[in-house]
Structure 1
Amino acid sequence: MLIIKTSGSRAPAPPIVPHYIGVGLATRSTENRRLTMMKDKREIRYEKCFVLVSFVLHEGIQATMRHSMPLPPKAAPKIASRSEEEDSYTTKSHLLRYRHGKHRAGDSDATSCFQQTQWDQLCLIASDSNGHMECKALDQVASGRNNLVRLLEFSDGTRWAARVNIKSQTSGRSELKSEVAAMQFISDYSDLDAVVPEVYAYAFDNDNPAAVAYILMEVLPGIVAMDALGGHKVHRGVIPRWCRPNFYRSVALRHIQMTSLRLPKIGTVVRIRDGIYESGPIPGIGGPFDTAAAFFEAWADSVKFKWNEDTIRRMMQGGPIPAEEMISMIQSFPSRIKAMAGRLSAHNEGPFPLHHADFLHSNIMVDERHFDVTGIIDWEGACTVPWELVAFPDFLQAMPPSFDLPENYDEHGQPIDDDLKETWTWREEYTYMVRSAELKGRMLSSCLASKSWDSMIEL
């Protein structure tokens, strides 16, 4: 989150590269009161913090903002062994089994999407895009929250992935168009294209012979890191320790390549014509933006708080401050951000780096032998962002100590929990890996270094 601290009438603190992808405000009270809030069924107490306000933003701007607390990884469609908690399937029959029986949230949408798709027509489209080679749809199917994937196979044995948009034609079109442009941008201008699927054909709405919006793309080698080596059943979604050095080193290299792709303005990626790209508007905010300050001002004008007033009143019952006072602070927060927007960024003008909206191991593919990165998927929501919104991969996120429970730290201010201690150690190591691999500029390592343990305990 972007944390801005003020104390009384003092001037705001210098720009701080945000720890999480999101925006919050912490205002130190002279009474040093403790705020207790319930969020996602977790109790969060912030010592030395009067209020920390988290905003839930429009789905289309996940590339620039996210909740202040880490969220469960978004289910992404994968052609791989699935973990127990993912909304995905391995076969066509498994997917269609949910049509008349009980199904989980999203299952009926995926089933309806599968049945709406004219697979024979989609195979003909694929054939036309691949030298008129005979093509058939295989039984392997995977489903996520927003997309459905089915493997297509050609007569020479090569395979493509057909990814179909489950969302409605209206809500998904702009995101799909931006995602395709982002992958094409990477392919044209970065070595990162080695781990990003090549796009062969696409349609952004249902007005085509396949009757759905789709992308036909390369099938990347490897397996999703979260599913590797037995998946969630074996290591509960955490990268095994012996894999981490090489995996983090490989991710760091790709992270550098990603942030080295830049555009003059902040916004989604728009393809004008072959090889020519520019920034476009961010759904729910607007733009594109020439400066970070303009982006933060627009964000402040458009942001919506997650909970309504009645919900906040229920949450604050028995809390340390009256609910009405909390509501007042929430309502005034956007205007306070807007008032200091010009002072939030140390790099107010572009170019601005490309950012992946869900950069975590459920969207990173690896070879299971060495855990080298073989692919990065799910570029939906990718856009260029202020440097203040560049952060660690989500599997290395950690709560700043100043806003965590004080009992989680010893008398020397060090984490008591071994896992938390290990996370901070790996953050330092990851920053070193990035710095060692950067050839010039060192912008990414500088951003990450500002979120080091020493920097965080000063907040």
Structure 2
Amino acid sequence: MQFIKEHTSLPVPQVFAYEFDENNSVGAAFILMELLPGSVAIDALGGYEAHRGVIPKEHRQNFYRTVAKCHVQLTSLRLPKIGTIVRNSEGGYVCGPLPGIGGPFDTATAFFEAWADSVKFKWDKETITRMMQRGPVPAEQIVAIIEDFPSQIKAIASRLSLCDEGPFPLAHDDFLHSNIMVDEETFDVTGIIDWEGACTVPYELVAFPDFLTAMPVSFDLPQKYDRDGQPFDEELRETWRERGEYIEMVKLVELQDSVLSACLSCKRNQAIAYSYGAYTSVGKLGFYDRVMIEL
């Protein structure tokens, strides 16, 4: 967080002291940090019980605008390698290894190859089979798709990224309204928390905030879309509209370059970002093979 505080005006808490070793005078690991004003957005105005975890419509536009300003600043922070942010002995900042993957990586190719070699899907074959007992496609087909995805990524790793070398942008790995604090009257962003997993990433993994996540059409069941590729579900249609509006908000505040809006506007990039997150973190069952065909 100190790196972010020193290089941007993003509202992140100042850390006063921390200790990871339990053998201290307190008797437990701790972190002492600044109390930020406002409330976590997902808990504001009555919380989940009042609005089911969704930002109230009357506050969305202003919330999205202020999040976009933060997002642009976040993406403008770039380092030569892909990895976590660590402080070196000279007091500067360098990239360190990514948990479970390794690194730091000089190229996007090296990152995707290492990811493919190390990633483990959340569910095993037996669990997937149970989950797909009444599914629209045979369980064996989904199991094969999931098992093949990492090797397919590795096979095209050298041409997966359109910008193989750095500098690479910083990303918050859980950029969700449960980690964004707001003023409850205006829904202006007052703080961003939970930076534990922040790291630099390939440009293909620069994604929308999680509250604007949408599954690529190729990943989903085709019967959910009309002949023009538009979703039948009205909530998804609304998300698509809001994603377009968010891109325009980003463009209005981009000063250094248009990297963020370009990444968000690129369907190929967003298909990669979604599939990566769905496989790595969520354990989402879907048509990864169809996404690969489009790459």
Alignment match, 2:281: none
1:188 and 1:275 in contact (8 A); partners too: no
2:39 and 2:181 in contact (8 A); partners too: yes
Of residues 181, 195, 199, the one that matches 2:15 is: 199
**1:237 shift after superposition:** 1.1
Alignment match, 2:283: none
Distance 1:202 1:342, change over 3 A: same
1:296 and 1:338 in contact (8 A); partners too: yes
1:203-214 → structure 2 map (5 Å cutoff): 203-214=19-30
Distance 1:313 1:402, change over 3 A: closer
**1:313 shift after superposition:** 4.2
Corresponding letter in the other structure for 1:359: F
Alignment match, 1:260: 76
SS at match of 2:88: strand
Corresponding letter in the other structure for 1:278: V
Q: Provide the identity percentage.
A: 64
CA displacement 1:241-274 (0-9 Å, x = unmatched): 1111111000000001111111111111111146
**1:348 shift after superposition:** 0.7
**1:404 shift after superposition:** 2.9
Alignment match, 1:173: none
Relative contact order (C-alpha < 8 Å, sep 6+): which is higher? 2
**1:327 shift after superposition:** 4.7
Alignment match, 2:280: none
SS at match of 2:267: coil
Alignment match, 1:442: 258
Alignment match, 1:392: 208
2:21 and 2:29 in contact (8 A); partners too: yes
1:26-425 → structure 2 map (5 Å cutoff): 183-192=1-10, 195-273=11-89, 275-315=91-131, 320-321=137-138, 323=140, 327-425=143-241
Distance 1:224 1:322, change over 3 A: closer
**1:331 shift after superposition:** 3.9
Distance 1:407 1:330 in 2: 21
Alignment match, 1:7: none
| 2:243 is the alignment partner of 1:427 | yes
**TM-score calculated relative to the size of structure 2:** 0.85
2:174 and 2:210 in contact (8 A); partners too: yes
Distance 1:245 1:449 in 2: 19
2:63 and 2:189 in contact (8 A); partners too: yes
Q: Which runs of 5 or more structure 1 residues have no equivalent in the other structure?
A: 1-182
Distance 1:297 1:238, change over 3 A: same
**TM-score calculated relative to the size of structure 1:** 0.56
Corresponding letter in the other structure for 2:152: R
Distance 1:288 1:317, change over 3 A: same
Distance 1:333 1:406 in 2: 20
**Bigger radius of gyration, 1 or 2?**
1
Alignment match, 2:276: none
**1:203 shift after superposition:** 0.7
2:76 and 2:256 in contact (8 A); partners too: no
Distance 2:228 2:148 in 1: 37
Corresponding letter in the other structure for 1:254: C
Q: Over aligned residue pairs, what C-alpha RMSD do you find?
A: 2.4
